[in-house]
């Protein structure tokens, strides 16, 4: 069974992180909520989140690590030397890493967006381009770079698309859940 860690920091965008956890757990993917520096995290909209564990070296063992955004949360992730060390190690071991909204600033600071295709919240690309000038920014809902094993997405409304891409990257079929959660229906209606 694949394993995923979603790392939460104070100031995170709650809907992004919780959407990932919800979708992946519905798919029976072992998904841990990991607090950056403590078990109880206060989100950007004053929603208190209780994590399963606090960041430690076991982060290197997950099949995929996802970082939700929120500007303050992303800055807290970006500034963590412990997280940087573990994410660089994961990248060197060719493991999947994912970030959405403002969180690609962390991947950029950690050197993981170099030569990678990615996206982010509008305007965040100015920061990521400064940190990772060889990264290739795309204006898409989600961007999967299979060579660099990086998945990125835009913001709160794209959280489900991001979660499904994460599940598919770790080898889980999402087609039935997309139907059950009315994701296909929503996508079809928006496309019209």
Q: How far is CA 53 from the centre of its chain?
A: 17
On the question of pLDDT at 191 being above 90, the answer is no
Question: Average model confidence (pLDDT) for the chain?
Answer: 97
Q: Is the pTM of this model over 0.95?
A: yes
Q: Which residue has the tokens 């394993």?
A: 3
- Residue 49 confidence (pLDDT): 98
Mean predicted confidence (pLDDT) in 3-17: 98
Q: Is the dihedral of CA 38, 88, 174, 155 positive or negative?
A: positive
pLDDT for 99-155, tens place per residue? Answer: 999 999 999 999 999 999 999 999 999 999 999 999 999 999 999 999 999 999 999
The Cα 157–Cα 84 span in angstroms is 27
For residue 96, the surrounding DSSP H or E stretch is strand 96-100
Q: Which domains does the chain have, with CATH numbers?
A: 3-191 (3.40.50.880)
Percent of the chain surpassing pLDDT 90: 96
What's the token pair of residue 179? Answer: 């139907």
Our answer to whether residue 101 is catalytic in this structure is yes
Triad 69, 52, 55: Cα angle to 5°: 65
Per-residue pLDDT tens over the stretch 52-79: 999 999 999 999 999 999 999 999 999 9
Q: Which position among 29, 36, 101, 107 bears the catalytic label?
A: 101
């Amino acid at each position: 069974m694949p394993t995923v860690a979603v790392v939460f920091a104070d100031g995170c965008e709650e809907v992004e992180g919780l959407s990932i956890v919800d979708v992946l757990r519905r798919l029976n993917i072992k998904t841990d909520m990991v607090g950056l520096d403590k078990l109880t995290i206060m989100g950007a909209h004053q929603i208190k989140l209780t994590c399963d564990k606090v960041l430690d070296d076991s982060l290197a063992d997950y099949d995929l690590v996802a970082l939700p955004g929120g500007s303050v949360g992303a800055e807290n992730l970006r500034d963590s030397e412990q997280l940087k060390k573990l994410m660089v190690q994961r990248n060197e071991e060719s493991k999947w890493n994912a970030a959405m909204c403002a969180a690609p600033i962390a991947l950029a600071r950690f050197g993981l967006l170099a030569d990678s295709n990615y996206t982010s919240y509008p305007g965040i690309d100015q920061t990521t381009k400064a940190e990772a000038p060889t990264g290739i920014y795309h204006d898409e809902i989600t961007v999967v770079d299979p060579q660099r094993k990086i998945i990125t997405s835009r913001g709160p409304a794209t959280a489900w698309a991001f979660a499904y891409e994460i599940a598919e990257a770790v080898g889980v079929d999402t087609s039935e859940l997309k139907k059950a959660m009315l994701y296909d229906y929503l996508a079809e209606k928006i496309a019209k």
